[in-house]
Amino acid sequence: MRVAVGCDHGGYVLKARVVSTLEDLGAEVVDFGTDSAEISVDYPKFGESVGKAVASGDCDLGVIMCGTGIGISIAANKVKGVRAAVVTNTYMAKLTKNHNNANVIALGGRVISEDEAEDIVRTWFTAEYEGGRHQRRLDIISKIEDENFK
Binding string, 10-49, against ligand RB5, x = CB under 6 A? x--------------------------------x------
Q: Which is nearer to ligand RB5, 64 or 127 (CB)?
A: 64
The single residue among 19, 30, 37, 70 that binds ligand RB5, judged by CB under 6 A, is 70
**78-93: buried (b, 16+ CB within 10 Å) or exposed (e) per residue?**
ebeebbbbbbbebebb
Q: Which is nearer to ligand RB5, 62 or 67 (CB)?
A: 67
Local structure of residue 99 (DSSP, 8 states): T
- Quickly count: other Cβ atoms within 10 Å of residue 7's Cβ: 32
Binding string, 49-68, against ligand RB5, x = CB under 6 A? -----------------xxx
Q: φ, ψ for residue 10 (rounded to 5)?
A: -75, -20
Annotation says 99 is catalytic: yes
Residue 132: partners with Cβ closer than 8 Å, 6 or more residues away: none
Which residues are part of the catalytic machinery?
66, 99
